[in-house]
Structure formats: C-alpha cells, structure tokens
Chains A and B, each alone.
Chain A
Amino acid sequence: GESVGLHLPTLSVQEGDNSIINCAYSNSASDYFIWYKQESGKGPQFIIDIRSNMDKRQGQRVTVLLNKTVKHLSLQIAATQPGDSAVYFCAENSGTGFQKLVFGTGTRLLVSP
C-alpha cells in the first residue's frame, strides 16, 4: 500500500485563476520566512520572503501573508500561468545567529491551459 508522505499535496488550477498555497510552520520563535519554487530537475528558486514584523508582503503577481497567531503562512499567485507549475515550499528560519532553514512538506501546483 501507499506510505504517508510519498505524495505531495496538489493544487490544480486553470490558467488565469488565482492560486493560494498554504503552509503551517512549527517554531513560534521563527522570525524569517521564505517561499521557494522548485521545478522538476532544478534547485529551489527564491520567490518572496517576509519578516515576522510584517503580516503581508507583495511582489510581482505574488503575495505572502503571515499569521503569527496561528503560525500560518500563505502564498497567493495572481493570474496563474502554466509556467507557475512546480512544487512550492515554505521555509522558516529557526536558527539563532545563523540561518537554519526548515522547509515545509511542499505543495505541487498544476496549472492547466
């Protein structure tokens, strides 16, 4: 049978839709959060980051929301395109003095034309 964790959560959307990818983080002391995009066969690519003194940050077509009360992070992608298809990871910095990134489990985004 299947083992838990072998399949990534998947979000399927149509081209042009807005996408929302969610992430729960574990360490209430984490003060820096990043979203990465990883395409097949490539390394993670930085999308956007946010510090714990903010609750929203916008980039080009992307917005990150941070809710420290419930330890929740979300990535919103506007007007999703087929090129946005990838696995998206949130990461939190749990290090003190150094960067020690802990990645979430990831979400696969599939965009249909």
Chain B
Amino acid sequence: DTEVTQTPKHLVMGMTNKKSLKCEQHMGHRAMYWYKQKAKKPPELMFVYSYEKLSINESVPSRFSPECPNSSLLNLHLHALQPEDSALYLCASSQAPDPDGTQYFGPGTRLLVL
C-alpha cells in the first residue's frame, strides 16, 4: 500500500479565514513533504519534515504554518492567505529523508482563496 490521503479535497476560504489541510500516511514513512502546484506548473517544495521535525522551509511566508503531530500525520495551517495562494497543495511521504528514496504523493487539496 503506497497511499497518502489528503483532506479536504477542495477548500474555499476568505482572506481572513483560518483553515487547515490534513495529510495522512500509514506506510511507516518518516519523511513528509508539502508542495504547492499552480495550474500548468510543476510542484514546488514548501516544507520537509524528517522524523517529525521541520528540516527544510523553502522561505515560505508565515501565513503557512506546518505541523507534524506524529509520524503519520502532517498538517498545514492557513491564515490570512492571499488570492495568489490559490493552488493545488500536495503532500508526499518517503520511507526516510535519504536523498534517493521514492516520494509518494497524495491527491492534493485544491485551494481557492477569495
């Protein structure tokens, strides 16, 4: 089983709202990732968690706040977003943060900021 699940599938929020995206995997993977993908563009890395600790933050604005409550769960808390933050947000996991481990992606949450 190589399944990464993400909820919700779609999300519409106003610029003053606070919402959270959730990602879950039960493969025993110890590295988890958040990516942002705009239409017709490749995914862009936002955050990397390794053994539940934030390892990489790709200079993401503070209105995006990641959280890794345990080894199976990854959240992305959203606050005061801008319309240009509308995108597909993808979560991925890999067995370990080793440079040559395969990342498995979830289906994504499509976010629209009004």
Binding site for B on A (CB under 8 A): 5-8, 31-32, 34, 36, 41-46, 49, 51, 89, 93, 95-106
| Chain B residues, Cβ within 8 Å of A45 | 105
**Quick one: which of A44, A49, A51, A98 contacts B43, CB cutoff 8 A?**
A44
B7-47 Cβ-contact flags toward A at 8 Å (1 or 0): 00000000000000000000000010100000011111100
CA of A104 to CA of B31, assembled, Å = 22
User: What are the residues of chain A within 8 A of B6 when measuring CB–CB?
Assistant: 43
Task: Determine whether B84 belongs to the interface, using a CB cutoff of 8 Å to chain A.
Answer: no
> B19 to nearest A CB, angstroms?
20
Please determine whether A43 and B108 come into contact, CB atoms closer than 8 angstroms. Answer: yes
Q: How far is the CB of B106 from chain A (nearest CB, A)?
A: 5
A-B contact pairs, 23 of them (CB 8 A): A5-B41, A6-B40, A8-B40, A31-B100, A34-B103, A43-B6, A44-B43, A46-B103, A51-B100, A93-B100, A97-B97, A98-B48, A98-B55, A99-B33, A99-B48, A99-B94, A99-B97, A99-B101, A100-B56, A102-B45, A103-B43, A105-B42, A106-B40
Since A45-B105, A46-B103 are in contact, a sample of 16 more A-B pairs with Cβ atoms closer than 8 Å, ordered by chain A residue number, is A6-B40, A8-B40, A31-B100, A34-B102, A34-B103, A41-B107, A42-B107, A42-B108, A43-B106, A46-B102, A49-B102, A98-B31, A98-B48, A98-B50, A99-B48, A101-B103
Residues of A within 8 A of B106 (CB): 43
Give the total of B residues in contact with A, Cβ under 8 Å: 30
Whether A99 and B98, one on each chain, are in contact in the complex, defined by CB atoms closer than 8 angstroms, is: yes
Say yes or no: A99 contacts B99, CB within 8 Å.
yes
A99 contacts which chain B residues (CB < 8 A)? Answer: 31, 33, 48, 94, 97-99, 101, 103
Given known contacts A99-B48, A101-B45, is B99 in contact with A32 (CB within 8 Å)? Answer: yes
Q: How many A-B residue pairs have CB under 8 A?
A: 76
Q: Could you list which residues of chain B lie within 8 angstroms of chain A, going by C-beta atoms?
A: 2, 4, 6, 31, 33, 40-45, 48, 50, 55-56, 90, 92, 94, 97-108
Which residue of B4, B33, B92, B99 is within 8 Å of A97 (Cβ)?
B99
CB < 8 Å: which of A6, A93, A96, A103 contacts B42?
A: A103
